[in-house]
Structure 1
């Protein structure tokens, strides 16, 4: 002890708190109060004067509750606007620094690792790390008249690190049903089952055997949310109470989030511990530590494993200078079976290892206290280390979708602080080869893994991750809600490796047992104009099509349904040989289009755009017939992107253009970031994109953003006049011109572009219109175009 660097970090206090709704002394504690109770336990656990120890705390770090872990999540009973300092105030601490950590079950161990490193550098002397959840209380009391108010307004510095959700979830995965963690983890467990060559029954028995010992430990833990012993068979037998959540998980093997629990860990330097009189028998050292992150879900080479988690454990053991065999205790994060078996498989630990794989009872039984479960695991590990001096205990903390893994190795044996090489290992992980993803998947494919989620009403939804036969690209797809044939395939025998058919739509990929079945479930719509639409109006006048966005009450902003209608209209326009020019405008006098309907987006309804993009235009290829934007008033955000996607633009004097997405925390991803710098000088485009600055009609004309400016209220008339000039020429010539311009746009060398061979030119020369045009010129008469 005497030879230790005074800055060596040491854990000197741990504490836990809990209450259950059915407890006779249930107190309706808030998350802040639960964390404060755990913090007081940690202070008392130091065996030194609590007030003196409290005064030394210069850093507090809080783990995020579920209510502040998800954008838009509700807090029915209110919450603190500075959770770490609320807890600090409760115990009388006045730290200089307060931290609110990112989302993820890795957070407790990561914070202990980070605070230990901070202390070892001399940048802090004592750090209190804590977390808590009162989900049971919130859900039980939210609708009652005498519900408590947990709202707190606390001043002071706060280092809020944000959600940290990057890479953990994407709109693309969410649009394919992967919005909950159970469905994501089920993909991994099903992939593991197939890799092991086990039947569904064999694998279910293995999950039950893995978790049955956890229930024994939970039953004896006074802080457990569900202290009930269950047999292996009981855990996996599907019953009314133990309903299926997501194949292969019944409810009993899924993390239990309805808890009222808090835990805290106090870390300080050896010098501070000595100064405060903390007895050395309370000291527990962090012998090994590591923090690694797995590749994002769709980038993983093998969906049945997470090698980054195994690497994190191995690296922590390497730093500690021990092996798996030297561990006396283990607590492996257990939100779902795969989280345990992944690490156990990688380290060669048997499911029935006599040491056990949990100290608390695990997340499904002790309780999955939001992001804070592993704080309880650390507390238990520290206490076990003290009762068996010189032994080693390991905590493995998992976050995201087997995404982030933090590890700590604890023992009372004194040791110097050893920095980890996690950054070096992370660089290696980030360099792993990743499968190429097909966001839009079409054709025959093979199932790589899958799950079926179950609603409380018995409804089933199938999710498939597969590989396309043509190029082996990976995709995710959903089943049709009425496709019993595909759902039966996923719930019987072995679907992994089976051949299926997938097709992409604007709202995502859909999968069925074959092409005919998919066609029956999703009939291809004929590109024909309808008589009426809900969100747009159409007017056909000879060879001219006029399309009006008809949502003036919403400034002609677009919902997914409005975008889909426009997509259908333009499908019909480009397919109809009798339509040669189209005009797009907005209803009313004030707005061409305000872009995306942000009120609809904020409602929580699914957001998607057609395959051909915003308004059916911004991602459309092969626009070989002209589309003219008649801009009356505002063309903001997506509205400006629509105008940019059109071949020509006529604006009235009141028109204003802006890529205003930065004003609402978004970007002009529907073509604005690409098209605007190609349409106007780059510095002007950059300014407009970065500031959202509005450009008037006159400025837009000077910049070349629009073709013509007409008097207020005459944008449509001006567009009709421009259309008439186009209609005066050969429609085949117009189409060929647009096609060759598109084909040569990316050719830098001018002569190469001129000499670019195009079949459109060959077709033009032998067309009737080409002959008619030359003949009419020779005969000094107006040509009669046939469009052939």
Structure 2
């Protein structure tokens, strides 16, 4: 196709630029991310070969890549940051765009933006777009604790399309509580699954990783922007030394992404019409022949943990759109944060590690530098330069984000072509419809290892396992118990731990795994339920068949932190297992609050937040509560306190009590059952209002709607609960337990007759009990029954 046959809206890449600010270099300038990105952007504008001011004035869209320090909630920018990074850079290059975009996090971002904004240009919604990103992690770390640190804070007016962090499915409390807090250990899980699939031993795996990345170091050594321009042999890359310590099995430091960089890159995309109007020489034009953007299932939902089929599918689809085969590609850049990210796509495309074309044009993330989410902007810039140097050949860029999660591909060439739409959305529907393995967050019992890693850090070694329960095949995530070396030994010394039998137990902090049940019972014994004489955060009083439990943190309005939750869980374990205890009353110390919910000061302190397996206060996630629990609500029952009341069988409140699910007011959710139980306890519309506004409901209103059983005078909630408990104790405890059990069993049966006819062993227990004889006998003898509870 000749240039004359091109649709004037066809997108072309006409300018690319890179910049670096190497710490310790003679020309080190301690530039901010905005300054360094602007430097790369100036290079990209100059790369067009036309007047910079004219090109800058034509820019209608700017799109910035997030720095690491703006890529997750609570991340700190030690030197300050811009409130509008894209417009800060635009201002520096003399542009005043209509649209400014801050892309979601992830290494796929640069290629995804090229694909997306090229499509916008092809649709006539834009003419000139400038994309850029920069990381100055080395500078931030260098100055973080110094008095002479620069201040990169700036405020720029103008609209900003902030797309958010894009972390859904990539980070979770469940993952972090099991040691998956960094990328290294998560990619190591994939790497070891791949080794097991290929049936290679440890030495073969290490040799393969070294052979894969040794050519990358050769490319990096010749790149003037590389952060580690050192050529290393395959053996040197995987030989464990003091400088090349193990990070997460099987990854030593040399083969993981290098984040200590000061690097920036920029790309200018415009329509053919704009390029002609501005006079951009046609030898500067590079076309996007093929492209694709796909997302993999979340980690635990993937059928195969040894790779990412979505990434391979994206690569194949981009080549298909371009109308070429992999043999026609002259240059590659496969995202290389970790070896598995390269080998996954290389395996899928049939590329050998020693392919003479090389699998990188920059040197890769461990050697060129892992410029945060912006690495692939450098790969695109370098690919464009090479395409111009070899007119007519094709270059391939594969950009990976998340945990082998998101993959964006671009196929580039100077050969003219009109815009070609892709079918990524249709392919994504196919991926999303794939079956997912059954999973569980609470795993108990014998299991087998599906994949594994051991993380090495200053605190020692932590084993992380994804496994399958022998009982039902459900997949789970677990970590080793602190101080248990037996599992670490198994994982690091067995030739292939995948398939080995282990034992997993669910505790308050999550799933813990070790070599067998005997070892588990030794290091995490299951305590026999019993009441202690003293507790630190709770008061306990036993009055005949009634157990009174008082949350004793009045200075914190009886809010609960992990130690208090653990004590309550132990107490209620003992209550439900003790046949001589028939009713429990839970209340709060003082006259201000029953329970103000979760202790937010503890949460804000950064200390670990754990909840027992039986839930908040040991009640909200407890199944089969077979004996009555009465909440004596004295004062506020806020957030988790309201959830405790909802989880109780009965509620007695004093007239000053107030109920609220106030989590939305502090950026949280009533996740301990509030959003589930409240709409089942009171009218749905009213429950919805309380949930989404956090408004309080007084005792009288709570009584009208059935949230409360009885109201007492101020300060008399406990006395009222005691009176109610005495009425329950007067009845047969066997009958009470059976009644609660049948209510629980039939709760989810919508048809009334089906519920009535539901067979329950509880009825048999009653008919075979001593109480079933004592009741009629006492009635006939006109005396009070002497209940046995059995």
Query: TM-score normalised by the shorter chain: which range applies?
Result: over 0.9
Report how far residue 608 of structure 1 moved. 2.5
Aligned residue for 1:305? 307
Work out the CA distance in 1 between the residues paired with 2:358 and 2:759.
71
Aligned residue for 1:463? 464
Residue of 750, 753, 767 corresponding to 2:752 = 750
Work out the CA distance in 1 between the residues paired with 2:164 and 2:69.
13
The yes-or-no answer on 1:210 pairing with 2:212 is yes
Aligned residue for 2:772? 770
Aligned residue for 1:392? 394
Q: Which moved more, 1:745-754 or 1:515-524?
A: 745-754
Residue of 538, 541, 552 corresponding to 2:540 = 538
Work out the CA distance in 1 between the residues paired with 2:752 and 2:343.
61
Work out the CA distance in 2 between the residues paired with 1:748 and 1:416.
59
Aligned residue for 1:473? 474
Residue of 418, 425, 428 corresponding to 2:427 = 425
Aligned residue for 1:61? 63
Deviations 1:271-308 (A, max 9, x none): 01111111111111111110000111111111111110
Deviations 1:581-619 (A, max 9, x none): 110011111111111222222333222211111111111
Aligned residue for 2:690? 688
Deviations 1:171-228 (A, max 9, x none): 1111111110000000011111111111111110111111111111111111011111
Aligned residue for 1:364? 366
SS in 1 for 2:343: helix
Aligned residue for 1:129? 131
Work out the CA distance in 1 between the residues paired with 2:768 and 2:496.
57
Work out the CA distance in 2 between the residues paired with 1:666 and 1:241.
43
Q: Which moved more, 1:473-482 or 1:599-608?
A: 599-608
Residue of 32, 35, 39 corresponding to 1:30 = 32
SS in 2 for 1:395: strand
Aligned residue for 1:675? 677
Aligned residue for 2:152? 150
SS in 1 for 2:466: strand
SS in 2 for 1:291: strand
Residues 68-217 of structure 1 mapped to structure 2, 5 A cutoff: 68-217=70-219
Unmatched runs of 5 consecutive residues or more in structure 1: none
Work out the CA distance in 2 between the residues paired with 1:194 and 1:755.
52
Report how far residue 730 of structure 1 moved. 1.7
The yes-or-no answer on 1:294 pairing with 2:296 is yes
Report how far residue 643 of structure 1 moved. 0.1
Work out the CA distance in 2 between the residues paired with 1:30 and 1:725.
72
Aligned residue for 1:712? 714
SS in 2 for 1:262: strand
Aligned residue for 1:564? 566
The yes-or-no answer on 1:327 pairing with 2:367 is no
Work out the CA distance in 2 between the residues paired with 1:739 and 1:297.
38
Report how far residue 665 of structure 1 moved. 2.6
Work out the CA distance in 1 between the residues paired with 2:788 and 2:468.
46
Residue of 557, 582, 585 corresponding to 1:583 = 585
SS in 1 for 2:5: coil
Report how far residue 653 of structure 1 moved. 1.0
TM-score, scaled relative to structure 2: 0.98
Report how far residue 86 of structure 1 moved. 0.5
Work out the CA distance in 2 between the residues paired with 1:238 and 1:153.
46
Q: Which moved more, 1:494-503 or 1:340-349?
A: 494-503
Report how far residue 768 of structure 1 moved. 2.1
Residues 44-55 of structure 1 mapped to structure 2, 5 A cutoff: 44-55=46-57
Report how far residue 754 of structure 1 moved. 2.4
Q: Which moved more, 1:38-47 or 1:502-511?
A: 502-511
Report how far residue 760 of structure 1 moved. 1.8
Deviations 1:310-338 (A, max 9, x none): 11011111111111000000000000000
Work out the CA distance in 1 between the residues paired with 2:501 and 2:639.
42
Deviations 1:681-707 (A, max 9, x none): 222222222222211000000001000
Residues 642-653 of structure 1 mapped to structure 2, 5 A cutoff: 642-653=644-655
Work out the CA distance in 2 between the residues paired with 1:496 and 1:423.
35
Aligned residue for 2:723? 721
Residue of 378, 389, 399 corresponding to 1:376 = 378
Work out the CA distance in 2 between the residues paired with 1:580 and 1:631.
20
SS in 1 for 2:321: helix
Work out the CA distance in 2 between the residues paired with 1:538 and 1:381.
71
Work out the CA distance in 1 between the residues paired with 2:143 and 2:540.
53
Report how far residue 757 of structure 1 moved. 2.3
Aligned residue for 2:483? 482
The yes-or-no answer on 1:637 pairing with 2:651 is no
Aligned residue for 2:492? 491
Deviations 1:711-754 (A, max 9, x none): 11111111111111111222212112211221222222323322
Tell me the number of residue pairs that the alignment of Structure 1 and Structure 2 aligns. Answer: 787
Work out the CA distance in 2 between the residues paired with 1:690 and 1:484.
47
Work out the CA distance in 2 between the residues paired with 1:380 and 1:753.
69
